[in-house]
Amino acid sequence: MVDTRVSLSGLELDNPIIPASGTFGFGYEFAEIYDINILGTFSFKGTTKDARFGNPTPRIAECPQGMINSVGLQNPGVDAVIREELPKLKEVFNKKVIANISGFSIDEYVYCCEKLDKEEQVGILEVNISCPNVHNGGMAFGTSAKSAGEVTKAVKAVTKKPVYIKLSPNVADIVSIAKACEDAGADGISMINTMLGMRIDLKTKKPVIANKMGGFSGSAIFPVALRMVYQVYDAVKIPIIGMGGVTTAEDVIEMMLAGATGVQVGAANLIEPYACKNIIEDLPRVMEKYNINSLKDIIGGAHNG
Protein backbone atom coordinates (compact mmCIF):
# COMPACT_ATOMS: atom_id res chain seq x y z
CA MET A 1 0.00 0.00 0.00
CA VAL A 2 1.57 3.27 -1.10
CA ASP A 3 1.54 6.43 1.01
CA THR A 4 0.43 9.57 -0.88
CA ARG A 5 0.42 11.90 2.13
CA VAL A 6 2.44 15.12 2.23
CA SER A 7 2.70 18.06 4.63
CA LEU A 8 2.79 21.76 3.77
CA SER A 9 3.90 23.91 6.71
CA GLY A 10 1.99 21.75 9.16
CA LEU A 11 -1.06 21.32 6.92
CA GLU A 12 -1.40 17.55 6.42
CA LEU A 13 -2.70 16.53 2.98
CA ASP A 14 -3.99 13.09 1.96
CA ASN A 15 -2.23 13.62 -1.37
CA PRO A 16 -0.30 16.44 -3.07
CA ILE A 17 -2.96 17.24 -5.69
CA ILE A 18 -4.22 20.83 -5.47
CA PRO A 19 -6.41 22.49 -8.14
CA ALA A 20 -4.81 25.84 -8.96
CA SER A 21 -6.42 29.20 -8.34
CA GLY A 22 -8.59 30.47 -11.15
CA THR A 23 -9.30 26.99 -12.50
CA PHE A 24 -11.55 25.63 -9.73
CA GLY A 25 -13.73 28.58 -8.70
CA PHE A 26 -14.67 28.32 -5.04
CA GLY A 27 -14.92 24.54 -5.21
CA TYR A 28 -18.64 23.98 -4.89
CA GLU A 29 -19.11 24.13 -8.66
CA PHE A 30 -16.93 21.02 -9.02
CA ALA A 31 -18.58 19.40 -6.00
CA GLU A 32 -21.62 18.95 -8.21
CA ILE A 33 -19.77 16.39 -10.35
CA TYR A 34 -17.52 14.58 -7.83
CA ASP A 35 -16.59 14.52 -4.14
CA ILE A 36 -13.90 17.20 -3.93
CA ASN A 37 -12.84 15.94 -0.50
CA ILE A 38 -10.57 13.49 -2.33
CA LEU A 39 -8.30 16.47 -3.12
CA GLY A 40 -5.28 17.31 -1.00
CA THR A 41 -6.77 20.79 -0.85
CA PHE A 42 -7.37 23.50 -3.46
CA SER A 43 -6.53 27.14 -4.06
CA PHE A 44 -9.64 29.21 -4.52
CA LYS A 45 -10.26 31.96 -7.06
CA GLY A 46 -7.87 34.90 -6.82
CA THR A 47 -9.33 37.42 -4.39
CA THR A 48 -8.75 41.17 -4.22
CA LYS A 49 -9.83 43.85 -1.73
CA ASP A 50 -12.61 45.16 -3.97
CA ALA A 51 -14.89 43.37 -6.41
CA ARG A 52 -13.51 43.16 -9.96
CA PHE A 53 -15.37 42.57 -13.20
CA GLY A 54 -12.08 41.69 -14.88
CA ASN A 55 -10.76 42.50 -18.33
CA PRO A 56 -12.80 43.18 -21.49
CA THR A 57 -13.68 40.25 -23.76
CA PRO A 58 -12.50 38.24 -25.62
CA ARG A 59 -10.35 36.89 -22.78
CA ILE A 60 -9.42 33.41 -24.03
CA ALA A 61 -7.27 32.26 -26.95
CA GLU A 62 -6.53 28.64 -27.81
CA CYS A 63 -3.00 27.41 -28.49
CA PRO A 64 -1.43 24.08 -29.36
CA GLN A 65 -0.96 22.24 -26.02
CA GLY A 66 -2.31 25.16 -24.05
CA MET A 67 -4.36 28.33 -23.82
CA ILE A 68 -3.99 32.05 -23.15
CA ASN A 69 -6.30 33.74 -20.67
CA SER A 70 -6.72 37.35 -19.68
CA VAL A 71 -9.62 37.13 -17.25
CA GLY A 72 -8.10 39.83 -15.05
CA LEU A 73 -8.86 38.58 -11.54
CA GLN A 74 -12.64 38.74 -11.79
CA ASN A 75 -13.92 38.15 -8.24
CA PRO A 76 -16.51 39.48 -5.77
CA GLY A 77 -13.98 41.02 -3.36
CA VAL A 78 -12.63 39.66 -0.08
CA ASP A 79 -15.58 40.67 2.10
CA ALA A 80 -18.06 38.93 -0.20
CA VAL A 81 -15.81 35.86 -0.35
CA ILE A 82 -15.84 35.62 3.45
CA ARG A 83 -19.55 36.38 3.72
CA GLU A 84 -20.90 34.28 0.85
CA GLU A 85 -18.36 31.95 -0.78
CA LEU A 86 -16.71 30.35 2.26
CA PRO A 87 -20.03 29.31 3.90
CA LYS A 88 -21.10 27.65 0.63
CA LEU A 89 -17.73 25.92 0.37
CA LYS A 90 -18.00 24.62 3.93
CA GLU A 91 -21.10 22.65 2.95
CA VAL A 92 -19.14 20.55 0.42
CA PHE A 93 -15.49 20.63 1.55
CA ASN A 94 -14.39 19.50 5.02
CA LYS A 95 -10.68 20.31 4.69
CA LYS A 96 -8.78 23.56 5.01
CA VAL A 97 -8.43 25.51 1.77
CA ILE A 98 -5.71 27.70 0.26
CA ALA A 99 -6.75 31.36 -0.07
CA ASN A 100 -5.24 32.98 -3.16
CA ILE A 101 -4.80 36.73 -2.68
CA SER A 102 -3.95 39.44 -5.21
CA GLY A 103 -3.52 43.18 -4.87
CA PHE A 104 -2.56 46.42 -6.55
CA SER A 105 -0.63 47.77 -3.56
CA ILE A 106 1.05 46.38 -0.47
CA ASP A 107 -1.80 47.81 1.60
CA GLU A 108 -4.32 45.77 -0.39
CA TYR A 109 -2.35 42.55 0.10
CA VAL A 110 -2.17 43.30 3.83
CA TYR A 111 -5.88 44.07 4.05
CA CYS A 112 -6.93 40.81 2.37
CA CYS A 113 -4.45 38.64 4.25
CA GLU A 114 -5.45 40.13 7.59
CA LYS A 115 -9.11 39.42 6.83
CA LEU A 116 -8.60 35.85 5.62
CA ASP A 117 -6.14 35.06 8.39
CA LYS A 118 -9.13 35.06 10.76
CA GLU A 119 -11.03 32.40 8.78
CA GLU A 120 -10.83 28.91 10.24
CA GLN A 121 -11.41 27.31 6.83
CA VAL A 122 -8.20 28.84 5.44
CA GLY A 123 -5.08 26.74 5.98
CA ILE A 124 -2.58 28.63 3.80
CA LEU A 125 -2.45 32.15 2.36
CA GLU A 126 -1.14 32.07 -1.22
CA VAL A 127 -0.04 35.60 -2.09
CA ASN A 128 -0.10 36.09 -5.84
CA ILE A 129 2.56 38.59 -6.90
CA SER A 130 2.67 37.19 -10.42
CA CYS A 131 -0.58 37.76 -12.34
CA PRO A 132 0.27 38.88 -15.90
CA ASN A 133 -3.33 39.85 -16.72
CA VAL A 134 -3.76 43.13 -14.84
CA HIS A 135 -2.14 46.52 -15.33
CA ASN A 136 -0.13 48.21 -12.56
CA GLY A 137 -0.44 45.35 -10.12
CA GLY A 138 0.08 41.69 -9.57
CA MET A 139 3.12 40.77 -11.64
CA ALA A 140 4.79 44.15 -10.98
CA PHE A 141 5.58 42.97 -7.44
CA GLY A 142 6.86 39.61 -8.62
CA THR A 143 9.46 40.83 -11.09
CA SER A 144 11.69 42.45 -8.45
CA ALA A 145 13.37 40.70 -5.52
CA LYS A 146 13.08 43.90 -3.48
CA SER A 147 9.33 44.32 -4.11
CA ALA A 148 8.65 40.61 -3.53
CA GLY A 149 10.43 40.82 -0.20
CA GLU A 150 8.51 43.93 0.81
CA VAL A 151 5.12 42.31 0.12
CA THR A 152 6.16 39.17 1.99
CA LYS A 153 7.37 41.09 5.04
CA ALA A 154 4.23 43.24 5.19
CA VAL A 155 1.87 40.26 4.93
CA LYS A 156 3.77 38.18 7.49
CA ALA A 157 3.43 41.04 9.99
CA VAL A 158 -0.38 40.67 10.07
CA THR A 159 -0.86 36.90 9.71
CA LYS A 160 -0.34 33.77 11.75
CA LYS A 161 -1.14 31.32 8.96
CA PRO A 162 1.56 30.00 6.60
CA VAL A 163 2.22 32.39 3.72
CA TYR A 164 3.22 31.02 0.30
CA ILE A 165 4.32 33.55 -2.31
CA LYS A 166 3.24 32.75 -5.88
CA LEU A 167 6.02 33.63 -8.31
CA SER A 168 6.07 34.70 -11.95
CA PRO A 169 8.11 32.87 -14.61
CA ASN A 170 8.33 36.12 -16.59
CA VAL A 171 11.64 37.10 -14.99
CA ALA A 172 15.34 36.69 -15.70
CA ASP A 173 16.25 35.25 -12.29
CA ILE A 174 13.46 33.53 -10.37
CA VAL A 175 15.92 32.13 -7.80
CA SER A 176 16.87 35.54 -6.41
CA ILE A 177 13.18 36.45 -6.05
CA ALA A 178 12.40 33.19 -4.25
CA LYS A 179 15.31 33.76 -1.88
CA ALA A 180 14.15 37.32 -1.18
CA CYS A 181 10.73 35.95 -0.20
CA GLU A 182 12.32 33.34 2.06
CA ASP A 183 14.55 35.95 3.68
CA ALA A 184 11.48 38.14 4.31
CA GLY A 185 9.73 35.33 6.17
CA ALA A 186 7.75 33.39 3.55
CA ASP A 187 6.73 29.92 4.72
CA GLY A 188 6.70 28.51 1.19
CA ILE A 189 6.83 29.26 -2.54
CA SER A 190 4.14 28.58 -5.17
CA MET A 191 5.46 28.43 -8.71
CA ILE A 192 4.96 29.08 -11.49
CA ASN A 193 2.16 31.35 -12.61
CA THR A 194 1.35 31.64 -16.32
CA MET A 195 3.83 32.81 -18.91
CA LEU A 196 3.10 35.91 -20.96
CA GLY A 197 1.84 35.11 -24.46
CA MET A 198 -0.42 36.23 -27.28
CA ARG A 199 -2.20 35.12 -30.46
CA ILE A 200 -3.08 37.11 -33.60
CA ASP A 201 -6.20 36.50 -35.69
CA LEU A 202 -5.12 36.14 -39.31
CA LYS A 203 -8.52 37.32 -40.62
CA THR A 204 -8.66 40.54 -38.63
CA LYS A 205 -4.86 40.85 -38.35
CA LYS A 206 -5.33 41.91 -34.73
CA PRO A 207 -4.61 40.25 -31.36
CA VAL A 208 -7.23 37.66 -30.43
CA ILE A 209 -7.44 38.86 -26.82
CA ALA A 210 -8.83 42.33 -26.10
CA ASN A 211 -6.01 42.90 -23.62
CA LYS A 212 -3.57 41.92 -26.43
CA MET A 213 -1.53 39.62 -24.15
CA GLY A 214 -2.40 37.13 -21.43
CA GLY A 215 -1.23 34.21 -19.36
CA PHE A 216 -0.11 31.18 -21.35
CA SER A 217 -0.77 27.88 -19.57
CA GLY A 218 -1.18 24.21 -20.39
CA SER A 219 1.06 21.21 -20.95
CA ALA A 220 3.43 23.18 -23.21
CA ILE A 221 4.87 25.09 -20.24
CA PHE A 222 5.59 22.02 -18.08
CA PRO A 223 9.34 21.80 -18.89
CA VAL A 224 9.80 25.47 -17.99
CA ALA A 225 7.92 25.07 -14.70
CA LEU A 226 9.88 21.94 -13.86
CA ARG A 227 13.20 23.67 -14.51
CA MET A 228 12.28 26.61 -12.28
CA VAL A 229 11.10 24.40 -9.42
CA TYR A 230 14.38 22.47 -9.68
CA GLN A 231 16.44 25.68 -9.54
CA VAL A 232 14.54 27.19 -6.60
CA TYR A 233 14.63 23.93 -4.59
CA ASP A 234 18.43 24.15 -4.66
CA ALA A 235 18.35 27.71 -3.31
CA VAL A 236 15.71 27.72 -0.53
CA LYS A 237 14.86 25.63 2.51
CA ILE A 238 11.10 26.32 2.54
CA PRO A 239 8.59 24.01 0.78
CA ILE A 240 7.51 24.53 -2.81
CA ILE A 241 4.10 24.02 -4.40
CA GLY A 242 4.92 23.28 -8.04
CA MET A 243 2.60 23.94 -10.97
CA GLY A 244 2.62 24.66 -14.66
CA GLY A 245 1.33 22.27 -17.32
CA VAL A 246 0.68 19.34 -14.97
CA THR A 247 -1.79 16.93 -16.58
CA THR A 248 -0.90 13.40 -15.43
CA ALA A 249 0.18 11.44 -12.36
CA GLU A 250 3.58 11.03 -14.04
CA ASP A 251 3.88 14.82 -14.20
CA VAL A 252 3.17 14.98 -10.46
CA ILE A 253 6.00 12.53 -9.70
CA GLU A 254 8.36 14.45 -11.96
CA MET A 255 7.47 17.76 -10.29
CA MET A 256 8.06 16.26 -6.84
CA LEU A 257 11.42 14.84 -7.89
CA ALA A 258 12.35 18.37 -8.98
CA GLY A 259 11.53 19.62 -5.48
CA ALA A 260 7.80 20.23 -5.09
CA THR A 261 5.96 19.04 -1.98
CA GLY A 262 2.51 19.92 -3.29
CA VAL A 263 1.49 19.99 -6.96
CA GLN A 264 -1.17 22.27 -8.41
CA VAL A 265 -3.18 21.41 -11.50
CA GLY A 266 -4.44 24.38 -13.48
CA ALA A 267 -5.43 24.52 -17.14
CA ALA A 268 -6.16 20.78 -17.19
CA ASN A 269 -9.28 21.46 -15.06
CA LEU A 270 -10.65 23.73 -17.77
CA ILE A 271 -10.21 21.03 -20.41
CA GLU A 272 -11.28 18.02 -18.31
CA PRO A 273 -13.33 18.73 -15.14
CA TYR A 274 -12.31 15.32 -13.75
CA ALA A 275 -8.58 16.01 -14.27
CA CYS A 276 -7.63 16.13 -10.57
CA LYS A 277 -9.84 13.17 -9.71
CA ASN A 278 -8.23 11.13 -12.49
CA ILE A 279 -4.71 12.05 -11.36
CA ILE A 280 -5.43 11.14 -7.72
CA GLU A 281 -6.90 7.78 -8.72
CA ASP A 282 -3.95 7.02 -11.00
CA LEU A 283 -1.24 8.10 -8.56
CA PRO A 284 -0.94 4.77 -6.66
CA ARG A 285 -0.48 2.87 -9.94
CA VAL A 286 2.29 5.20 -11.08
CA MET A 287 3.98 5.05 -7.67
CA GLU A 288 4.00 1.26 -7.79
CA LYS A 289 5.29 1.29 -11.35
CA TYR A 290 8.33 3.32 -10.28
CA ASN A 291 8.82 1.54 -6.92
CA ILE A 292 7.79 4.55 -4.84
CA ASN A 293 6.34 3.64 -1.44
CA SER A 294 5.95 7.14 0.01
CA LEU A 295 5.73 10.47 -1.81
CA LYS A 296 7.47 12.24 1.07
CA ASP A 297 10.59 10.22 0.25
CA ILE A 298 10.93 11.49 -3.32
CA ILE A 299 10.68 15.26 -2.77
CA GLY A 300 13.79 16.72 -4.42
CA GLY A 301 14.97 13.23 -5.34
CA ALA A 302 16.35 14.37 -8.69
CA HIS A 303 18.99 16.42 -6.80
CA ASN A 304 20.56 13.35 -5.20
CA GLY A 305 23.76 11.85 -6.54
pTM given for the model: 0.95
pLDDT at 224: 98
Dihedral of CA 107/110/111/112: which sign?
positive
Query: Would you list the DSSP string of 41-78?
Result: --BPPPB-SS-B--SPSP-EEEETTEEEE-----B--H
pLDDT at position 140 is: 66
Q: Of these residues, 112, 131, 181, 276, which one is catalytic?
A: 131
Q: How far does Cα 88 stand from its chain's mean position?
A: 22
Q: Give pLDDT, residue 20.
A: 97
Query: Would you state the pLDDT for residue 137?
Result: 47
Closest by Cα among 129, 136, 91 to 112:
129
**pLDDT (tens place) for every residue of the chain, 305 residues total:** 899 999 999 999 999 999 999 999 999 999 999 999 999 999 999 999 999 988 888 999 999 999 999 888 889 999 999 999 999 999 999 999 999 999 988 999 999 999 999 999 999 999 999 765 444 445 567 888 999 999 999 999 999 999 999 999 999 999 999 999 999 999 999 999 999 999 999 999 999 999 999 999 999 999 999 999 999 999 999 999 999 999 999 999 999 999 999 999 999 999 999 999 999 999 999 999 999 999 999 999 999 86
What 3-state class would DSSP assign to 265? strand
**Structural domains of the chain sorted by starting position, each given as residue range(s) with its CATH number in brackets:** 6-56+70-197+216-303 (3.20.20.70)
pLDDT value for 212: 93
Confidence (pLDDT) at 136: 46
- Dump strand ranges (E) for the chain: 6-8, 11-13, 17-19, 60-63, 66-69, 97-101, 122-128, 163-166, 188-191, 195-197, 200-201, 206-207, 214-217, 240-242, 262-265
pLDDT given at position 148: 94
131 has catalytic annotation: yes
